[in-house]
Structure 1
Amino acid sequence: MSTVLFVYAKGGPPLGYALSRVAARSAVHLLALSTLPPTVAASAERRCASVRTATGPERGDLVSLIVSRAQAVGADAVITFSEYAVVAVAEACEKLGLAGAGASCALARDKRLMRRTWGRRGISQPRFRPVADERELHDAAAELRLPLLLKAAWSAGSTAHRIIRSAEEVPAAWQRAREVMAESAELGYAELHVADAGADFLVEEIVPGTAGGWFDQPGWGDYVSVEGVVVDGVFRPVCLSGRMPTVEPFTERAGITPAALPTDAQQRVVALAREAVDALGLENCGTHTEIKLGADGRMWVIETAARFGGAMTVPQIEEVFGLDLIGMLVDHLLGRPVTWPARALTPQEARGAAGSFVVLAVDGAGDAWPDRRRWDFPTVRDAVPLSAGSRLSVVAENSLPDGSPVPVYDPAAGANTMAALCLLSAADPETVLQDFRTLMDALPSVLPQAESHKETETDAETKTETKTETKTEKAEKDEKDGQCKAETVEARS
């Protein structure tokens, strides 16, 4: 039987879901670079031939650690689905002579290198400048067109994003972005291989996105993602996912599979994604490419990752298109034949639709809820009226326990201040979008109130403390036993 070394770190599809798909194809040895979620720790022990958690000094040379562990277990393939570990795993595969993302993987991780590569190819993207300190940020703000978006070069999940509307905002933006990267590192959401990656930033012009002219239904966000895979250096698009509008600055609120784009528009989006992926020279890996949509058919590539989309993107694809992308990639890395889609699949080929919704304490306009609330999925299940036939569930692995205070939303921290991740299945993407709008509007009134309190610290400090406290509560929760997949609690429609 073939053997796979699964390198786990935070981010990516839920561990339970991913692990079950890998284990169905091979013997699995788990190398954990982050603490295992309590909801799947017990089942991981049963599913895996071994589970090793790497902490302390041994993580200093991550590539050597992965190589030595792969050799010790006789791995025929090494895989990860975490943004924070893709570069280390790619380099380890190169040393081991195994199929992987390839030597250019860092181009799909460091946004500065990514943008420079695209610039040399003339690929449509926002104008940008790398910035290493506050002075360089001031210089860039004087050269580029305001407003600007400051972002960390190695971040994920919209962490440390700051909008700069005037030169006077540069010092505060620079300070807060660096603070958030340090806070994220403490929570385990940081690059694991490149030293001091949290200090690397770039700033870019905010292009004028619009969903108008692209979607027939109002309420869609102005960007999409092309989900795909690179197989022996050839990009194979799988499908498109759409979004709801982001929360300022650009925090994702919901992803919906498939995106309800007309066929001709989808083809043009895929063509641009192909240019972007091909330019990076990847070899064998999942891909997730985000593209901003503008007026009169204009498009800009925002970024590409050398891994599958995070949150529930991969489970959504399996539900609506019947493709187990994780299992298919494992088979390919092990040298087995795999039949990939001949082209990007369309909504007409989907079996319904599915979407993931991030619970944030802001309304549709991005304004904070009027008071503090406690997360409680049973209440949401019973009180929110969804469309006939729709099914709502909560992804326990990515959610706070029922009764936990919903963190105050911090624009700089992005998804770090989420309370829960929900999955919804419905007849079509338009219904998913409608139900998510209903859910978003209902949450601040149906969730139980948290105990009143007076904030005596800054909003940023309060948000960070809340996140840390609730993570501790989550770790202390009894481990749930069950199948190694995204554990959900089904709701009434």
Structure 2
Amino acid sequence: MSTVLLVHAKGGPPLGHVLSRAAARAEVHLLALSALPSAVAASASSLCASVVTPTDAERFDLVSLIVSRAEAVGADAVLTFSEYAVVAVAEACAALGLAGAGGAAALARDKRMMRHTWHRHGLPQPAFRPVTTRADLHEAAAALPFPMLLKAAWSAGSTAHQVIGSPREADGAWRRSREVMAESARLGFAELHVAEAAAHFVVEEIVTGDAAQWFDEPGWGDYVSVEGVVAGGVFHPVCVSGRMPTVEPFTERAGITPALLPADLQDRVVALARKAVDALGLRDCGTHTEIKLGADGRMWLIETAARFGGAMTVPQIEQVFRLDLVGMLVDHLLGRPVAWPERALGPEQARGAAGSLVVLAVDGRGEAWRDRRVWNFPVVTEAVTLSAGSTLSVVPESSLPDGSIVPVYDPAGGANTMAALCLLSAADARTVLRDFTTLVDALPTVLPPAASAAPHSLSTTPQPLSGTPELTSAAPQPEGVRA
């Protein structure tokens, strides 16, 4: 039987889903760079031939650690589904002579290098400037139009995103973004291999999207993601996922499979994703490419990742299109033949629809909840009426326990302030969108009030992460959502 070394870190698809699919294809050895979610710890020991948690000293040279562990177990393939371990695993695969993302993996992590690469290829994207110091930020502010977006070059999940509306806001945004990156690292949501990554930022032009010119019904967000895989350097698109509108500034609220794009528009989106992935030169890995949709058919590349989409993107694809992407990628990395889709699958090939909703303390208008609430999934299922045939579940490893106070939403913190991740299955994508809208509107009233928590203003002024009760209490943080 073939042997696989799976490198686990925070983010990505739920670990339980990944382990069960990988273990069906090969003997799995788990190298846990992050603590295993409590909901998965017991099953991991039965699904894996070994589970190793390295010491801090062993993590110092992460590539050497992965290589030595792969050699010790006789791994025929090494892979990860976490954004934060992609570069280290790619370098380890190269050292071992195994299939992997290749030397271009860093281009799909560092947003500065990614944008420079796409610029050289003439691909449409927002204007940008790399930033490593406060002085760089002021130079960028003088060159780009306001408002502009400051983002961490190696982040995920919209963490450390700051909209800068005028020159006088630059210093405050710089300070806040650096604080959030430090807090994200404390929570385990940070690049694991590139030591200086936390100091790298990029400033981008904010382009104006227009979902109405792409979708036939309201409620969709103005961007999509193309899910795919690169096998032997050849890009294979799998499908296009749609979104609900983001929460200020650009935090993702929900992903829906499939996106209800007309076939000709889906073809245009996929064609741009292909150019983006080809330009980066990836070799063997999953891909997740986000694209902004504008008026008059305009599109802009947001980013490409050298791994599958996070949250529940992979389970959604399996449910809707009957494709086990985890198992298929394992087979490919082991040299087995895989029948990838001949072209991106769309609504016509879908069997129902599925979506994942990140629970944030923000209503459908983008305003913070008026008061603090307690997360309680059974209350939600009992109090909220969804469409006939729709099924709602919670993802335990990506959610706070019932009884936890829902964190105050922090625009700079992004997904760091999520309370839970829910999965919805329905007859079609329109129903998923409608039911998610119902859920978002209902949550601030049906969830039990937190009697001891102070009321919170409607303002979305950033709240400090450090010191907030929900981040420093005994209640564990959710494993996390990084799309």
> TM-score per shorter chain, which class?
over 0.9
Distance in 2 of aligned mates of 1:455 and 1:425: 34
> Aligned to 1:149, what secondary structure does the other structure show?
strand
Please tell me whether the aligned partners of residues 408 and 463 of structure 1 are also in contact (alpha carbons under 8 angstroms).
Answer: no
Q: Is the 8 A contact 2:465 2:471 kept in 1?
A: no
> CA distance change for structure 1 residues 467 and 62 in 2, over 3 Å: closer, same or farther?
farther
Q: Which residue is 1:102 aligned to?
A: 102
Paired residue for 1:473? 475
Q: Would you say 1:461 and 2:464 are equivalent positions?
A: yes
CA distance in 1: counterparts of 2:41 and 2:87, whole angstroms: 25
Shift of residue 459, structure 1, vs aligned partner: 5.9
In the TM superposition, residue 463 of structure 1 has moved relative to its aligned partner by 6.7
The secondary structure found in structure 1 opposite 2:66 is helix
Equivalent residue number for residue 269 of structure 2: 269
Structure 2 residue ranges without an equivalent (≥5):
479-483
Check conservation: 2:257, 2:320, Cα contact below 8 A: yes
Indicate the RMSD between aligned Cα atoms, in angstroms: 1.5
Q: Which runs of 4+ in 1 moved over 4 A?
A: none
Q: Secondary structure at the match of 1:129?
A: strand
Q: CA deviation at 1:249?
A: 0.7
In the other structure, the counterpart of 1:177 is 177
1:402-433 deviation line (CA, Å, top 9, x unaligned): 00000000000000000000000001101000
Equivalent residues of 1:33, 1:54 under 8 A apart: yes
Give the aligned residue type for 1:474: P
Report the AA paired with residue 152 of structure 1.
A
Q: Which residue of 1 aligns with 2:222?
A: 222
Q: Percent identity?
A: 73
Q: Deviations over 1:352-406 (max 9, x none)?
A: 0000000000011211101000000000000011000000000001000000000
Matched residue, 2:481: none
CA distance in 1, matches of 2:26, 2:472: 38
1:331 maps to 331
Contact 1:91 1:103 survives alignment (8 Å)? yes
Structural mapping, 1:34-73, within 5 Å:
34-73=34-73
Helix, strand or coil for the counterpart of 2:84? coil
Query: Within 1, Cα distance between the matches of 2:177 and 2:130?
Result: 14
Give 2:443's aligned residue: 443
Is the Cα contact below 8 Å between 1:362 and 1:409 reproduced in 2? yes
Secondary structure of 1:288's partner? strand
SS at match of 1:461: coil
Alignment of 1:158-177 (within 5 A): 158-177=158-177
Q: What is the CA–CA distance in structure 1 between the aligned matches of 2:427 and 2:454, rounded to whole Å?
A: 44
Tell me, yes or no, if structure 1 residue 15 matches structure 2 residue 15: yes
Per-residue CA distance 1:189-223 (angstroms, 9 max, x = gap) = 00000002111000000001110110001010000
- What is the CA deviation profile of residues 232-271 of structure 1, one whole-angstrom value per residue up to 9, with x for unaligned ones? 0000000000000000110000000000000000000000
Task: Tell me the CA shift for residue 469 of structure 1.
Answer: 3.4
| Partner AA of 2:152 in structure 1 | A
AA aligned opposite 2:89:
V
Distance, in Å, in 2 between the alignment partners of 1:182 and 1:455 is 27
Equivalence for 1:30: 30
Instruction: Please state whether the residue corresponding to 1:460 is helix, strand or coil.
Output: coil
Cα distance in 2 between the residues matched to 1:463 and 1:221: 31
Q: Does structure 2 conserve the Cα–Cα contact (< 8 Å) formed by 1:455 and 1:462?
A: no
Aligned to 1:200: 200
* CA shift for structure 1 position 332: 0.3
Counterpart of 1:418 in structure 2 is 418
Amino acid at match of 1:460: Q
User: Aligned-pair distance for 1:452?
Assistant: 3.1
Whole-angstrom distance in 1 between the partners of 2:37 and 2:454: 32
**Residue aligned with 1:85, SS:** helix
- 8 Å contact kept, 2:372–2:455: no
Q: Could you tell me how far apart the structure 2 residues matched to 1:463 and 1:376 are?
A: 24
Look up the equivalent residue of 2:469 and give its one-letter code: T
Shift of 1:473: 2.0
Letter in 1 for 2:267: Q
Q: Distance in 2 between matches of 1:466 and 1:275?
A: 45
Matched-pair contact (CA < 8 Å) for 2:30–2:51: yes
How do residues 3-402 of structure 1 correspond to structure 2 at under 5 angstroms?
3-402=3-402
CA contact 2:405–2:470 (8 Å) conserved in 1:
no
Separation in 2, partners of 1:124, 1:464? 41
Q: Distance in 2 between matches of 1:274 and 1:462?
A: 38
Distance 1:217 1:416, change over 3 A: same
Q: TM-score, normalised by structure 1?
A: 0.95
Are 2:371 and 2:454, in contact at CA under 8 Å, matched by a contact in 1? no
| Alignment match, 1:485 | none
Alignment TM-score, normalising by the size of structure 2: 0.97
- Identify the range of structure 1 (439-448 vs 45-54) with the bigger mean alpha-carbon deviation: 45-54
Change (3 A) 1:453 1:346: closer
Task: Name the count of aligned residue pairs.
Answer: 475
Distance in 2, Cα, partners of 1:290 & 1:223: 7
Distance 1:360 1:463, change over 3 A: farther
